[in-house]
Amino acid sequence: MAAPEDQLLRGAWISLEVIGWYVIIPLALSALFTGVGIALSTPWGLFRHYWVLASLLLTIVATAVLLQHMSTVSSFAAIAADPAIPAVATILGPALRGELLHAGVGLLILIAIAALNVFKPRGVTAYGRRVSQVVTDSRSSGAIRTGSGWGAMPRRTPRWVHAVWIHAAALLLLFAVMHLTGGGLRLHN
């Protein structure tokens, strides 16, 4: 019979692997894809403001580190799942402390991304200044008119509708990719 600490560590590592692959990675990828989609469908744009670029880069880096780190989690989970290895506390215990450090740094990055997206600090990129100048020039020349017919301003769909559709499409795409690559619905019989 294994010690209670060994059983707890084995269960923790196996849980970390399952939660990482089936919850955290799909959510990280959907956050990346929906963030790009929302940025492209709003006036903020993807490359117009520094805070959007910083948020995008932080999300890409965090997702890449997570994907790279999951191989380590999977190898420790394989050790935990092997009943032939006795007294895993000496192997898995110190590694779990390292996992807590990774989780803490990841949480700080998520808080930074959320703060950027909520407070939207000022600062327009060179591309954003050029786009803003083109829009200002076209409005002053009378190219955009109101009313009906050619050149009229179309009725806008509310942004929340675009956001919901982008999220739904990204989740559907993620589900399809996971299912087709054999990663999804393994427990479904």
The DSSP code sequence of 56-84 is HHHHHHHHHHHHHHHHHHHHHHHHHH-TT
Domain parsing of the chain, residue ranges: 4-138+155-180
Q: What is the pLDDT of the chain when averaged over all its residues?
A: 81
15-49 pLDDT, tens per residue? 999 999 999 999 999 999 999 998 888 888 888 88
Residue 187 above 70 pLDDT? no
Q: What is the pTM of this model?
A: 0.67
φ, ψ of residue 44 to 5 degrees: the values are -65, -35
59-88 pLDDT, tens per residue? 999 999 999 999 999 999 999 999 888 878
